[in-house]
Amino acid sequence: MKKYILLLFQLLLFYNNTSFSQSKQKEMSIYDFQIQSISGEIVDFSDYKGKKILIVNTASECGYTPQYADLQLVYESFKEQLQVLGFPANNFGGQEPGSDSQIATFCEKNYGVEFPMFAKMDVVGENQHPLFVWLKEKTGKEPTWNFCKYLISEDGKEVSFYPSSVNPGEIAEKL
């Protein structure tokens, strides 16, 4: 009988310690990310605290590529309250084949992009970048094509998903 009581006590102690340590773990926030920009610097997302963040997976050879112009307009018009961030990816139809420097040149030359762009990454699949894993966990949705968008609230707690067909201007109108 003593053995069973001791075993029960050990199980309860283990369970309490496990629950306690799990409850102490901090849930990851958008502000915990540090990601390489398209020009090679590391960008600390804690710098975006207090602003809404619009994250877009982009591609240079897509039917939605003209949205770069709309993203730039939203960036210019709402930069005090909204940070636009572009994430080139070659996951859909091979529509982003270029290097980071080629992508940066394309965006600047063709669309005057000034908002932050990041190093090319996988936004879906086996090598999905942790940022897009986090976004998927928050919304239950991952990009289905180029130019899908995620809008994150100023406090980093609310995340909304918008498909490629939603123009960035439509999202900005709701701010």
| Cβ pair 19, 51 in contact under 8 A | no
- Tell me the mean pLDDT in the region 150-171: 96
Question: Which pLDDT tens digit goes with each residue over 70-102?
Answer: 999 999 999 999 999 999 999 999 999 999 999
Q: Is residue 11 part of a domain?
A: no
Q: Is residue 36 part of a domain?
A: yes
Q: Is residue 9 part of a domain?
A: no
Question: Which pLDDT tens digit goes with each residue over 10-58?
Answer: 544 444 544 444 444 568 899 999 999 999 999 999 999 999 999 999 9
Which residue range(s) make up the domain with 155? 30-173
The DSSP letter of residue 127 is T
Q: Is residue 10 part of a domain?
A: no
Q: Which of 54, 62, 82, 171 is catalytic?
A: 62
Q: Is residue 24 part of a domain?
A: no
Q: Is residue 76 part of a domain?
A: yes
* Paired strand residues for 37: 118
Nearest to 60 by CA among 29, 99, 23: 99
Q: What is the mean pLDDT of the chain?
A: 89
State yes or no: is 62 an active-site residue.
Answer: yes
Q: Is residue 94 part of a domain?
A: yes
Q: Is residue 82 part of a domain?
A: yes
Number of helical H runs and strand E runs in the chain: 5, 6
Number of domain units in the chain: 1
CA distance 81 to 75: 9
Residue with tokens 């998927």: 136
CATH, residue 147: 3.40.30.10
CA distance 129 to 35: 10
